[in-house]
Amino acid sequence: MQKHATITIVLVGLFATALTPSTTARAAETVNLITNGGFEDGLIGWTRYTTTVSVQSTGGLRLEIIAPSSHNDPAGRMWIDDVALYETQMPAVVSVSNDVGFNDEPAMAVAANGSVYVAYNSFREGNDSLQVTRLWSQGKSFVPQGAWQVLGGKGTYVAGIRTVAAGEKVVVVYAAEKDKNWDVYAVACGPDGPQTPVAVTSDPGVDVKPSAAWHGDTLHVAWESNRNGSRQIYAASMRDGKVSEPQPVSRPDASCYNPSLGVLQSGEVCVAWHSFRKHNYDVYLRRRSSDGAWGTAARLTVAASIDRHPVLFTRGDELWLVYEHAQTERYNIGRTNRRQLIVAKVTPQGLMAPKTGTGPATLTGRCEGAAPAFDSSGRLWLAMLRPRLPRSGWDTFVTCFAGGRWQQASPVSLLKGMDRTPSLAVYDGRVLVAMQGDNAPNSWTDLDQMAAATSNIYLAAIDAAAMPMDTGLELERLVESAEPFEPAQLRVLRGEDTPTPAIDYKGKRLKLYFGDLHEHSEVSVCNRLGDQSVDESYQHMRDIARHDFACVTDHGYNINPYVWGHLAKTARTNDDPDRFLTFLGEEWTSTFEEYSEEHPYGFYGHRNLIFADAYFPKWFNARDRRTPAELWEELRKLNANFVQIPHQLADTGNVPSGSAIATARRPRRSSSTYASTAI
């Protein structure tokens, strides 16, 4: 029987280093660091360390606590106040995708008749495909009642899948690329399978990241678009297969991202998104009354740092919101050092958070990827992601606000996954969670296993009766963080928010463009849990750094065919003609510190390989031990338009590199062309 144990250690000491429990029971480990604050006896303060240990067999388990780790500094003292061990039985988990393809982006909804529909992207034979599986509850598990491919085949690209209940059916909304143009589509699915997809958008701009809700007989959809030269939120509705004229919801002069749409019982449509204004990201909301009139957009959050990824959910005519609050420091905008979730009710008086006497209104401890829902008794459920340290990936957890407080968050499975938001639904006394899980390498020691890595979509069911009954949600005004946001101050101080410099020279207008061709994301194992997602990285480079061009270049040894396609898709969906130019690329990481007569200085160092073609079908792993010249020769045979530049000229931890090449000019996917210059 699969079980899960969590060790909680509260201690006071002079060190802020994480404890490293070890086990002889073949356990997979993750350490979540939570700072509770507070100071006693003049010491540094109480620090709470939580370690999850996954036990997959019966028998004895020995846990060893080894502390402190001084990292070659003089040893200090540490006081351990308490040790608590919690053991919980894991819920039943069913594989939906069954090892067919490399699977990602789960989206789930429950129809009125109890049918569970899970939609997901399955990468098969080098192409995306949109799959939908219908399942039926059988005891504590689920059995499939039908599986269909909605979209697939050569040249298929899918992203941003969402599923919403629509009476006895569900509707799947998604973005797909056709003839190098991204549009939003909707397809109804019932017991007999999917109907014909309907195009919600048809503009030549990028239309992606749809969010949807069903009310009455109408599907309401919101999405992110760059059709006016900037990132803007649009909305439309669909009834009987007919789509209304898209309406701009957000203003056109500020970057706006990741919409979430909810419909109140009265028919009022609400759309939230996060936007970069006044040198930081905040959450905004706009409402459309039941008669079709749009009100004025309202700013919901005011913290000086990063408020993003809003998720709207409703209870009758109550509008609720959960969003991610994050912080980064100085110029380190490619990563966030803190992430937490904030849940609040949207009221005329502002955001009101559930009042709890045992902790703050925020879900701290590095939480992200929220999926909320109320059950029939009024309890608020929340699925979320927590990192599995030091760099493995993310675990899916579920918590519930009941009995006047957030209950202990429990892991849903033994599976770790990518930074992918789970999907949650509450039905018939059970909490259903759809999630992604994989066996991708989680450290530098097993990098060569990435080529054989698998990823699947899973469905788990949790008995809601295990939680206390609801005693009422007492609310208090949400107090947002007053912490300063250093990047906002620096971009003003250094003039990085000014327009692109330009001069007139011999009758031509010349511009000085600035960008970043080396940025890691959560793909790379080196700082997987701190770096942003690929999409978040492009947002920060577009807005905070105000780059004119950018490229996410993750380590080649962390890439497989699906990941390469994901990097390519995200580069294409973030490309804004005449404003923000994106490239497809990788870090060709030759870091073998082996010295010999043949290699007196080791191997060839870190080099960023940038392609002009954002559909380039191949990436390269430097662990095949080839030389740069051999790599360049293959690229020339492929007629690739590329440039390879040093990651760094010198680095105490890596072999120095100082050469780069480029090839001839070729047109790019947009209307503009450019020429590479040999270095």
Tokens of 331: 């110029």
The pLDDT, as a whole number, for residue 123 is 98
pLDDT at 142 over 70: yes
**Which band of pLDDT confidence, cut at 50, 70 and 90, is reported for residue 304?**
very high
Answer whether 0.95 is exceeded by the pTM: no
**More confident: 492 or 170:** 170
pLDDT at 532 over 60: yes
CB 18 within 8 A of CB 67: no
Q: Give the 3-state secondary structure of 264-327.
A: CCCCCEEEEEEEEECCEEEEEEEEECCCCCECCCEECCCCCCEEEEEEEEEECCEEEEEEEEEE
**Which residues does 16 contact at the CB level (< 8 Å), separation at least 6?**
44, 47
Tokens of 506: 């011999």
pLDDT at 274 over 60: yes
Cα gap 656→646, rounded to integer Å:
9
The pLDDT, as a whole number, for residue 70 is 53
Of 52-56, 306-310, 422-426, 560-564, give the lowest mean pLDDT range: 52-56
**Beta carbons within 10 angstroms of residue 674's beta carbon:** 14
Calculate mean pLDDT across residues 409-413.
90
| pLDDT tens digits, one per residue of 616-660 | 999 999 988 888 899 999 999 999 999 999 887 655 556 666 554
High-pLDDT (> 90) share of the chain, %: 66
**Which band of pLDDT confidence, cut at 50, 70 and 90, is reported for residue 69?**
low
pLDDT at 71 over 60: no
Looking at every residue in the chain, the average pLDDT score rounds to: 86
Calculate mean pLDDT across residues 364-386.
93
> Of 70-84, 483-497, 532-546, which one has max mean pLDDT?
532-546
CB 385 within 8 A of CB 370: no
Calculate mean pLDDT across residues 53-66.
70
Cα gap 380→356, rounded to integer Å:
13
Calculate mean pLDDT across residues 607-614.
96
The pLDDT, as a whole number, for residue 35 is 35
**Beta carbons within 10 angstroms of residue 96's beta carbon:** 23
Tokens of 307: 């408020």
**More confident: 71 or 92:** 92
| pLDDT tens digits, one per residue of 34-51 | 333 333 344 455 666 666
The pLDDT, as a whole number, for residue 444 is 83
High-pLDDT (> 70) share of the chain, %: 82
**Which band of pLDDT confidence, cut at 50, 70 and 90, is reported for residue 676?**
very low
**Which band of pLDDT confidence, cut at 50, 70 and 90, is reported for residue 673?**
very low
pLDDT at 74 over 50: yes
**Which residues does 230 contact at the CB level (< 8 Å), separation at least 6?**
252, 253, 254, 255, 576, 579
Cα gap 7→2, rounded to integer Å:
17
The pLDDT, as a whole number, for residue 232 is 98
| pLDDT tens digits, one per residue of 180-218 | 999 999 999 999 999 999 999 999 999 999 999 999 999
The pLDDT, as a whole number, for residue 653 is 54
Of 253-257, 399-403, 601-605, give the lowest mean pLDDT range: 601-605
The pLDDT, as a whole number, for residue 68 is 56
**More confident: 177 or 469:** 177
